[in-house]
Chains A and B, each alone.
Chain A
């Protein structure tokens, strides 16, 4: 049986793969976002928030195994593949930077207003760090999976 060739454009074109990857990335980001909001907004429920973020991370790190950044490619990616891969990574880096700055500012403000103990701040920072990993892992897949359909007429 022939092994199907993998390419970024092939991934983008496979509608079923795109739909599945898109939803997995959305679920991972949603779990992570709800988790970080719970962890920072309600410090007494920090553990529950962290559990959600960790669940999002577990899902998001699986995405590259089946999605656009998997390593086992029988042929090299071409220049278009590299271009959209780079754009997806740039989008992920931008989203991660935004989440980091916004998250730290919110955490600082809530921590000062609520007089958080140092351990709570430490755990909240750890949760934020885990959330940033979720964003960095899930956003590239979400960007690529969200691309428009491509017709393959010759």
Chain B
């Protein structure tokens, strides 16, 4: 079974949202968000799309079959001033 990686914690921190706020927005328990962030649970398509909708970004930016690049590497590639 494929592992689904996600950047929920990153987007949540960027937007200053708590787990409870995100959980309330998508209609699950806060602990479920914790399980998702740790990669212990792969969400349904519906939950995945709801999470992406809350962050107002395409779903493929939040979930991927491949490991996401570290933020530090993305920033280094983008260079200063970005």
List CB contacts (< 8 Å) of B7-49 with chain A: 18-20, 27-32, 34-35, 41, 43-44, 46-47
Are A150 and B31 interface neighbours, CB within 8 A?
yes
List CB contacts (< 8 Å) of A120-154 with chain B: 150-152, 154
Tell yes or no: A58 within 8 A of B by CB: no
Total contacting residues, chain A, CB less than 8 A: 14
> SS class of chain B's interface: helix, strand, loop or mixed?
helix
Shortest C-beta distance, B74 to chain A (Å), equals: 24
List CB contacts (< 8 Å) of A24-58 with chain B: none
With contacts A83-B41, A154-B18, A154-B19 taken as known, whether A13 is within 8 angstroms of B47 at the C-beta atoms is: no
Chain B residues, CB < 8 A from A154: 18-20
Chain B residues, CB < 8 A from A10: 29, 31
Task: Point out residues on B near A: beta carbons under 8 Å.
Answer: 18-20, 27-32, 34-35, 41, 43-44, 46-47
Task: Point out residues on A near B: beta carbons under 8 Å.
Answer: 7, 9-10, 12-13, 78-81, 83, 150-152, 154
